[in-house]
Amino acid sequence: MLRTDEILSTIEMLHAEHLDVRAVTLALNVDDCAAPSVDHLCRKLQSKITSRASRLVEVCDRVGAKYGIPVTNKRLAITPISTLLAGHGHGAAVQVACTLDAAANQCGVDFVGGFTALVHKGITPADAVVMHSLPEVLSQTEKVCASINVASRKAGINMDAVGQMGEVIVRIARATAARRGFGCAKLVVFANIPEDNPFMAGAYMGAGEPEATVNIGVSGPGVVGSALKRRLAIDEKLTLGDLAEEIKITSFRVTRAGELIGREVAAEMGVAFGIVDLSLAPTPDVGDSVGEIIKTLGISRVGAPGSTAAIAMLNDAVKKGGLFASSSVGGLSGAFIPVSEDAALAEAVGAGHLVLEKLEAMTTVCSVGLDMIAIPGDTPAETIAAIIADEMAIGVTNDKTTAVRIIPVPGAKAGEWVDFGGLFGSTPVAEVRNAGASGRFVRFGGRIPAPLQSLSN
């Protein structure tokens, strides 16, 4: 029998602190949709996705209602589109992307990830088609999300790909200039891309995965922030160790609730359950913010000295609680710091407390990288490539996933606020210092060799 205090404590977490399941992502292998004719390929793709995923939203809503925990985002992820596009050209890539968009709309999901190429060691013709179709793909579709893996611990950093992605990002921004460069918000450049990540825009299904699987992302930072504030209201004489313990316990609880939902959704969909991603994913809602947690931990201006230590502690405690709660932890599993999607981070950028370099430092100890950062539209492509290279170096050297989702806002200068709408939030344009000073480095191209850590056998 349950105890009354247990029931009341869960009710508080669910209804006062708005615990939710942030993302349920159905991952599908679509490699069998390959066909010499692009029309036939698209028909197979549309048929496979809609037949396997049409019930996802209804099942998520029903299971969520049963437990009283809403599933906020329902998404699809597919195997890398570069495999399907082998032997096809630019026009086929755009047609396939439009098909994915239509299939996602038909299923009622909010995004479909997997317009992906893995180019950490080299670029195939199909990979090149994927990369260079992105300006059209991301400007002509709403729900298609793209990811390009340009670096890995084993391969090092493919600087040719990094250089090209700098240019591609500038072209995407121009192609979506009317929406302040929004197309770039649907593209992530990765080092060590995880094969089972449920979060967008970087979700795709890796080669080692089953035919279909359900991966879930647990609740956002609001629950952790509320737990810390509640604990501090009871006892002000807590140490950071006590606060880490509170985060750990909260993470345990949200992970257990998330796995419960994920497993039931998987069972109802008749597919394997994949992983629980422990990431704290903020939203623009006030309080649902990793920046707020940093403030609660005693850093009054996010970005001030201590911010990196605070987020390191948060990230670690979340993992420890989640790991004990579930034996199926995977994906990114860290605290995200997407600037426009986190009101406290955006505010700190606007006030000049949080700068690009400090964000980069913070990503050495948390997930997932320089995320949802608006930069001036006139930032040179080579500087964007160099920003990517720095972040990739952190991932490759420290054997972790890192990523860049950066938006050069056409016509915008540092300090100007831009609004991307909905969950993408709004942010001031961040200053890029030393723009234009990295061109020669990027133009060398080639591959930065894998670090010593890659030789672990």
Q: Shortest Cβ distance from residue 170 to other proteins (Å)? A: 43
Rounded Cα distance between 229 and 293, Å, is 9
Site for other proteins contains 4 (CB under 8 A) = yes
Q: Which of 260, 323, 393, 435 binds other proteins (CB under 8 A)?
A: 260
Q: Which of 134, 162, 218, 271 binds other proteins (CB under 8 A)?
A: 271
Q: Shortest Cβ distance from residue 263 to other proteins (Å)? A: 5
Closest to 206 (Cα-Cα) out of 79, 48, 27? 79
Q: Shortest Cβ distance from residue 392 to other proteins (Å)? A: 35
- The tally of CA atoms less than 13 A away on the side-chain side of residue 98 is 11
User: Stretches 4-12, 181-189, 285-293, 380-388: which one binds other proteins (CB under 8 A)?
Assistant: 4-12
Site for other proteins contains 15 (CB under 8 A) = yes
Site for other proteins contains 266 (CB under 8 A) = yes
Output the six-digit token pair for 391: 């972040």
Site for other proteins contains 10 (CB under 8 A) = yes
Q: Shortest Cβ distance from residue 265 to other proteins (Å)? A: 9
Site for other proteins contains 67 (CB under 8 A) = yes
CA dihedral 304, 309, 314, 315 (to 10 degrees): 120
Q: Which of 66, 413, 433, 443 binds other proteins (CB under 8 A)?
A: 66
Cβ burial 143-166 (10 Å sphere, 16+ → b, else e) = bbbbbbbbbbbebbbbbbbbbbbb
In sequence order, the 6+-apart residues with CB closer than 8 A to the CB of 382 are 163, 166, 436, 438, 439, 442, 443
Q: Shortest Cβ distance from residue 416 to other proteins (Å)? A: 43
Site for other proteins contains 214 (CB under 8 A) = yes
Site for other proteins contains 56 (CB under 8 A) = no
Site for other proteins contains 264 (CB under 8 A) = yes
Site for other proteins contains 65 (CB under 8 A) = yes
User: Stretches 12-20, 90-98, 118-126, 376-384: which one binds other proteins (CB under 8 A)?
Assistant: 12-20
Rule CB under 8 A: which residues touch other proteins? 1-4, 6-11, 13-15, 62, 65-69, 214, 253-254, 256-257, 259-260, 263-264, 266-273
